Structure 1
Amino acid sequence: MGIGFEKENRIFTLQTDHTTYQFQVDAYGFLLHLYYGKTIYGGMDYLLTYYDRGFSANPYDADQDRTYSMDALPQEFPTSGTGDFRSPALTIKNSDGTYSCDLRYQSHRITKGKYGLPGLPAVYAAENEAETLEILMEDAVTKVQAVLLYGVFPKYDIITRSVRIINQGEDTIHISKAASACLDFVSGDYDLISFYGRHAMERNFQRVPVSHGKQILRSRRGTSSHQYNPAMILAGKDTTEEAGDCYAMVFVYSGCFKAEAEKDQFNQTRALMGLASEMFSYPLGTGDSFVIPETVMTYSAEGLSVLSHNLHRCFRNNLCRGRWKDQVRPVLVNSWEADYFNFTGESLLRLGKHAAELGIEMLVLDDGWFGERNDDNTSLGDWVVNEKKLGCTMGELIDRIHDLGLKFGLWIEPEMVSEDSDLYRTHPDWALQIPKRNPVRGRNQLVLDFSRKEIRDHVFDQICAVLDQGNVEYIKWDMNRSLSDIYSSETKEQGKVLYDYMLGVYDFLERLIERYPDMLIEGCSGGGGRFDAGMLYYTPQIWCSDNTDAIDRLEIQYGTSFIYPASCVGSHVSAVPNHQTGRITSLNTRGVVAMAGTFGYELNLGLLTEEEKKEVKEQVKKFKQYAPLIQRGDYYRLSSPQKDEFGAWAFVSEDQSEALISIVMLKQHGNMTVNYVKMRGLIPDAFYQIEGHDRIYSGAALMQAGLPVPIESGEYLAYQRYLRRVEHKGA
């Protein structure tokens, strides 16, 4: 397993435990993609075909050979200006105003371990876990170089890709499009699976055919966005959860992105993942370099479940970092839906006392603790504790919460500034604003120019001064608007602001982690507006959505599960009627749904009845029992909440000795028909017992025939079944 190079035919082969990825340096120095899929042996260059296709141009090197055209050949890293009229991975504007870049192979090297990307998030590995392939390409005229980076993780069936662009020429160039990964398929008919949405309804599953023309998923909002997640799957027409070919491409970046799927004139398919090209024109002077953020790729011949498992294991183990990546997260209560801005120090202590009595482990103070922040119109940027509101210092509040036996967490929104703030009155030029124009407001706030170090330093120092007042064990990092007014007073090259802004956010997060290595950070952007692999490198959990309605969450968490592990999904039990939808669901149903993530509460615990308090105690106890399985187990989607009468999912331990099944009924009818939930991931000839029941079932029976869902009267009823493998004498 790993990376091989066959010198005679100049073929690179990247092998994982179950997949092969192969490409070739051809006679002209172009990199031609040959194959990606189930493990094969030998060279796949026989798949390349050559003939005169008409109106498909030919490189000058090919002389009179009209059968050779980049417009039809599958490529590893297609560029503008080579006669390929499909979407390029790289477009460069040269100093003379031309758009051309003709990269040819120069050399390569293979090393143990995984490449890193300074200043950017990336999957990491020990030396024995992965191998790296670096390929140096160069344009002979401009001396622009591209170093193609491949990381190979055999046990996860994961291949990562990134590119470093280096200007070795004498003139400044501008990068106007940059994708880190391209997949070219010479044959096949695929569906495109993507995850669209909006604020409070993110990552809805969508599956459509890849058709002639180009399908684009993108964000121009400065974040990866609520609207389109930076991930896509190409799946065969007949691919299901359990069978069929599928490929995933996931961008490890939290800013603007573009994903493309294109079926060309010859029925070939190209998929690209990279940076958005809108408002992007990055200058490189002589000797300067630019890194295209990483794309994670994986393939499964056994359907979508295995594809998800590959990504989940990689992200849990080799993307998330720090003390908390492997630990069960504390069960918390967040003050937001309990009191919104209307809290005091005493009300927080009351909430904390109720939490401690119920077995909850942490209290999180959300928005409203700083400046004059009593609504969302003021004080962002003034990270000074409002001691009048709290009735004490932050340090005293933290100590009093700790005295209750609870951990303490705090909400921050470092990237934002209110016009009604001391910071803005002193430094109005620190906000992203276009000169001579009134700014576009979002949530009545502006965005600080985090591409500038002095601004980041100021905010960092202010926030650390608060965190240093006591032991703050958790931070919720929020970001509550999209970026517009893209202009920085510090640069004449406005096409670089969005990328440099994101580097600034990452720099701030990295410094925070270094200063407070034991602190758990949860990412958030109005819920799931920045739910991406890039943020997981810094924040091992992300608030899944501002929508806490259990029934909506079934669809949100269903779409999320295709790419991201449950261990990173922030999910809480909230009050009813739900504050976003007005829907009423049982406390049991809300608890079952929230247990598909990190688990916590988002309500005023003091308003619970005695019966509800007893149920919350049981929920916390149950979650702590199941948490290791939820965090580390393989996740199986057992239904589609978009189509089926019920939503169902399961966590199965790696050794298949235990499983947790969760079911929520979505539709109820008179004279109800029976639904059966079929398990996945069990050992067919092993036997399992449901906790609290005497009956023993074979794994095969549970997977082939399933379990009947009880017929009961009521709306949105939920059930959990915990299975454990047992010895069965009658086997």
Structure 2
Amino acid sequence: MAITFNESTKIFTLQTAETTYQMMVGRYNILQHLYYGKRVDGSTMDYLLWGTDAGFSGNPYEAEGDRTFSLDIQPQEFPSQGVGDYRTSCIEAVNPDGTMAADFRYVSHEITKGAYKITGMPAVYDEEEISSSLSILLRDENTGLELLLKYGVFEKEDVITRAAVLKNSTEGMVSLEKMLSVCLDMPFGEWEMIHFHGRHAMERQVERTPLCHGTVSIGSKRGTSSHHHNPSLILCTPQTTEDAGDCYGMTFVYSSNFIAGAEVDQMGQSRVFMGIHPESFCFRLAPGEVFETPQVIMSYSDRGFTALSHNFHRIISEHICRGKYKYARRPILINNWEATYFDFNEEKILKIASQAAELGIEMLVLDDGWFGKRDGDCSGLGDWFVNLDKLPGNLSSLSEKINAMGMKFGLWFEPEMISEDSDLYRAHPDWALQIPGRKPNRSRFQLVLDMSRREVRDYLFERMSDILSNAKIDYVKWDMNRSMCDIYSASLPAERQGEVYHRCMLGVYELLERLTAAFPDLMIEGCSGGGGRFDAAMLYYSPQIWCSDDTDAVERLEIQYGTSFLYPIGAVGSHVSACPNHQTGRITPFHTRGVVAMAGSFGYELDLNTLPQEEKEEVRKQVSDYKKYYELIHRGDYYRLNAPGDGKEFVAWAFVSEDKKQVLVNLVVTHTRANSKPIFIKLKGLDAAVYRLEDGRCLSGSALMNAGICIPSVSGEYRAVQFELTAQ
């Protein structure tokens, strides 16, 4: 079985195909972590526990004269405050009597088939009950607080999930001031942490840092998972590479404020943690009420980052993404944003659609500006009524004309926002998050709607449903274009204002759940100024996310590289845009833009009518190629062959089909030199078969992986090479 409990040793063992996770009900019924790593069979790992009389590290009362057992140095599953562990805690609560200690001890457990659920939040699901779940109940006997730790085991995917639930079993009000989702204590080893930082239009940049004594953490306090730090991290040994070495990955199934990091303690032990950011968080629990944390997905690999990435790609593709477009081929689209911005009318849109249809593109997406008084970004949000000056025939007429061209029709929304200059704001100023008597922090003159309020969500559902029901709309781009600030909800009392961030996020999830249930054939693409909310939770509702507002092909090499460590390639919205690029001014070959955009869900972001004929023919070929390689790109294994940065002259990646019979190799030269050397790249993921190249040569898989293949010198700036290999 995937989960077992040994009654005599009190050890829980969680097994996946390649990994083992062990914990123990230890001395004094304290739940202690034992081991997480490469699979071990038939062994109890409690021999790894050790103790010493560490100065200024106290001991539980029951230890009496034994000074070698201290929570300050013992590995634990869910450390709490005020009971002798001075390292990073997972939970901080103010009890009804004002005390701030929580001493949780084991009470009972339950093992069940299938995946556990989290009320009101996305989580890894299991429709076929191939997984197992473990719930461990802990209690603070002094206060009666109950803590339920949840573990999910997906054997084939080598994934373990974690979450926690706190129940107020006291007779008074409890103020929960911090509650993380996971702690992983690593009692030995030298570690480095990889995280994915960035900014708007330059998301998920890879940074690798050795851990040192003290705490290093990343996070977001912006009300979104953010452009600036992705809610994920990797812990690895200094020797770990793409193909070898120990590494642990974690990603947070949550889209709002978070904190994640690692602490090295006085004994050189490392504690990794992840959860809701405790700053600006305080949740009040009345007697009998519970608080559930979001989920964390964890995986381990002893074969380097590539195997770890494959684990995350599989679990997200198969057990996070849902709906029709989990498997159905997504249409190749053209978005009008960079073609027109706000300056469009029906004639312009139909002209773009007509040219797109002629070249084989399958859907037109009408971006910002189709509603309310919206001729710029300072007005109109919230007024989800069609602007009949721009679209006199309404959306139904426009969609019918586009459908008649053989294309689908998609539409942009920014549901969570309200403009100060809008009819909605004039009617309901209290629906916006803003502090009474204080001028708000402005960002494009738009405020954030209080998504914790039922009447706000009902209004949005009504308006969006009306739009979606009265025109043939197959796709929605769901945007969110500012960080949250001035946090105050007029619907909550003063003592509950610390709940606003989380309640708003639950409201967003609830609205998305209602819409996806009401319109099951609708495809939603997530967006937050590009990649500002690129996380596993949003992928639960939208199988792809606009990866970045930076459409420059060379910049996208780095952005998509970082994204690929934890998120599947099919989740990446990626388009060919115009040159000079609108964000950087860089000029890149049209072919290169296509190769880079094919590392994701493919489309265009330009006015095709302005292209010369040879580039229009290139569009036709790109569309044909992407259709040909769709299953390989979306379902195959992704390999990073040469990383960007550090003065490297090229970036390369490949897709390999599950049966290893088809391979697509992609390469972009990022630094062209005079009298350049040929490029050699070693392929990955092949088998012993003989592979035929497009030029007719036949080479063995072992030769291609161990000796590699030579790519002749490519002249010109930012040239790309793309070629296919097929097993004979």
TM-score by length of 2: 0.99
Q: How does 1:171-570 map to 2 (within 5 A)?
A: 171-492=172-493, 493-570=496-573
Tell me the secondary structure at the aligned position of residue 207 of structure 1.
strand
**After superposition, what is the alpha-carbon deviation per residue over 1:344-384, rounded to whole angstroms, capped at 9, x for unaligned?**
01111111100100000000000000001000010000000
Asked whether 1:646 is paired with 2:650, we answer yes
Tell me the secondary structure at the aligned position of residue 442 of structure 1.
coil
Q: How does 1:691-710 map to 2 (within 5 A)?
A: 691=694, 693-710=695-712
Unaligned stretches of 5+ in structure 1? 727-731
Asked whether 1:13 is paired with 2:17, we answer no
How far does residue 94 in structure 1 lie from its aligned partner after superposition?
1.5
**Counterparts of 1:450 and 1:370 in 2: how far apart (Å)?**
21
**Counterparts of 1:2 and 1:128 in 2: how far apart (Å)?**
12
Asked whether 1:690 is paired with 2:693, we answer yes
**Counterparts of 1:17 and 1:637 in 2: how far apart (Å)?**
24
**Counterparts of 1:99 and 1:369 in 2: how far apart (Å)?**
53
Q: How does 1:627-646 map to 2 (within 5 A)?
A: 627-643=630-646, 644-646=648-650
Asked whether 1:671 is paired with 2:641, we answer no
Q: How does 1:587-626 map to 2 (within 5 A)?
A: 587-626=590-629
Q: Which residue of 1 aligns with 2:716?
A: 714
CA contact (8 A) 1:300 1:306 kept: yes
Tell me the secondary structure at the aligned position of residue 572 of structure 1.
strand
Q: Which residue of 1 aligns with 2:727?
A: 725
**Counterparts of 1:606 and 1:670 in 2: how far apart (Å)?**
36
CA contact (8 A) 1:328 1:631 kept: no
**After superposition, what is the alpha-carbon deviation per residue over 1:404-426, rounded to whole angstroms, capped at 9, x for unaligned?**
11000000000000000000011
CA contact (8 A) 2:655 2:665 kept: yes
Structure 1 moving runs of 4+ over 4 Å: none
Q: Which amino acid in structure 2 is aligned with residue 559 of structure 1?
A: G
Tell me the secondary structure at the aligned position of residue 91 of structure 1.
strand
Deviates more, 1:90-99 or 1:153-162: 90-99
How far does residue 127 in structure 1 lie from its aligned partner after superposition?
4.6
**After superposition, what is the alpha-carbon deviation per residue over 1:579-629, rounded to whole angstroms, capped at 9, x for unaligned?**
000000011000000000000000001101111111100000000000100
Q: Which residue of 2 aligns with 1:163?
A: 164
**Counterparts of 1:48 and 1:69 in 2: how far apart (Å)?**
12
Q: Which amino acid in structure 2 is aligned with residue 236 of structure 1?
A: T
Q: Which residue of 1 aligns with 2:101?
A: 100
**Counterparts of 1:520 and 1:642 in 2: how far apart (Å)?**
35
How far does residue 675 in structure 1 lie from its aligned partner after superposition?
1.9
**Counterparts of 1:217 and 1:397 in 2: how far apart (Å)?**
45
**Counterparts of 2:257 and 2:326 in 1: how far apart (Å)?**
26
**Counterparts of 2:315 and 2:44 in 1: how far apart (Å)?**
28
Tell me the secondary structure at the aligned position of residue 638 of structure 1.
strand
**Counterparts of 1:454 and 1:545 in 2: how far apart (Å)?**
32
How far does residue 91 in structure 1 lie from its aligned partner after superposition?
1.1
Tell me the secondary structure at the aligned position of residue 28 of structure 2.
coil
Q: Taking every aligned residue pair, what percent have the same amino acid on both sides?
A: 54
Q: Which amino acid in structure 2 is aligned with residue 364 of structure 1?
A: V
Deviates more, 1:354-363 or 1:483-492: 483-492
**Counterparts of 1:540 and 1:192 in 2: how far apart (Å)?**
28
How far does residue 324 in structure 1 lie from its aligned partner after superposition?
0.3
**After superposition, what is the alpha-carbon deviation per residue over 1:629-666, rounded to whole angstroms, capped at 9, x for unaligned?**
00001110001112321111111111111111100001
**Counterparts of 1:499 and 1:246 in 2: how far apart (Å)?**
31
**After superposition, what is the alpha-carbon deviation per residue over 1:284-306, rounded to whole angstroms, capped at 9, x for unaligned?**
11000111000000000100000
CA contact (8 A) 1:114 1:127 kept: no
Deviates more, 1:116-125 or 1:546-555: 116-125
How far does residue 538 in structure 1 lie from its aligned partner after superposition?
0.6
**Counterparts of 1:279 and 1:78 in 2: how far apart (Å)?**
21
How far does residue 674 in structure 1 lie from its aligned partner after superposition?
2.1
Q: Which amino acid in structure 2 is aligned with residue 706 of structure 1?
A: G
How far does residue 100 in structure 1 lie from its aligned partner after superposition?
1.0
Q: Which amino acid in structure 1 is aligned with residue 540 of structure 2?
A: Y
CA contact (8 A) 1:112 1:127 kept: no
**Counterparts of 1:471 and 1:390 in 2: how far apart (Å)?**
15
**After superposition, what is the alpha-carbon deviation per residue over 1:17-62, rounded to whole angstroms, capped at 9, x for unaligned?**
0000000001311110000000112100011111211111111121
Q: Which amino acid in structure 1 is aligned with residue 86 of structure 2?
A: F
**Counterparts of 2:302 and 2:507 in 1: how far apart (Å)?**
39
How far does residue 162 in structure 1 lie from its aligned partner after superposition?
0.6
Q: Which amino acid in structure 1 is aligned with residue 726 of structure 2?
A: R
Unaligned stretches of 5+ in structure 2? none
Which residue of the other structure, out of 656, 659, 664, is the alignment partner of 1:660? Answer: 664
CA contact (8 A) 2:386 2:395 kept: yes
Q: Which amino acid in structure 2 is aligned with residue 380 of structure 1?
A: L
**Counterparts of 2:392 and 2:607 in 1: how far apart (Å)?**
20
Kindly report the root-mean-square deviation, in angstroms, between the aligned alpha carbons of the 2 structures: 0.8
CA contact (8 A) 2:660 2:686 kept: yes
**Counterparts of 1:126 and 1:456 in 2: how far apart (Å)?**
29
Q: Which amino acid in structure 1 is aligned with residue 11 of structure 2?
A: I
**Counterparts of 1:328 and 1:586 in 2: how far apart (Å)?**
27
Q: Which amino acid in structure 2 is aligned with residue 505 of structure 1?
A: V
How far does residue 95 in structure 1 lie from its aligned partner after superposition?
2.2
Q: Which amino acid in structure 2 is aligned with residue 400 of structure 1?
A: K
**Counterparts of 1:242 and 1:712 in 2: how far apart (Å)?**
28
CA contact (8 A) 1:387 1:394 kept: no
**Counterparts of 2:610 and 2:373 in 1: how far apart (Å)?**
28
**Counterparts of 1:442 and 1:12 in 2: how far apart (Å)?**
50
CA contact (8 A) 2:115 2:129 kept: no
**Counterparts of 1:33 and 1:558 in 2: how far apart (Å)?**
34
**Counterparts of 2:212 and 2:329 in 1: how far apart (Å)?**
44
**Counterparts of 1:90 and 1:443 in 2: how far apart (Å)?**
37
How many residues matched? Answer: 724
Q: Which residue of 1 aligns with 2:72?
A: 71
Tell me the secondary structure at the aligned position of residue 350 of structure 2.
helix
**After superposition, what is the alpha-carbon deviation per residue over 1:679-717, rounded to whole angstroms, capped at 9, x for unaligned?**
11001x2111123x1100111111112122221320000
Tell me the secondary structure at the aligned position of residue 274 of structure 2.
strand
CA contact (8 A) 1:114 1:124 kept: yes
CA contact (8 A) 1:572 1:602 kept: yes
How far does residue 469 in structure 1 lie from its aligned partner after superposition?
1.1
**Counterparts of 2:127 and 2:110 in 1: how far apart (Å)?**
18
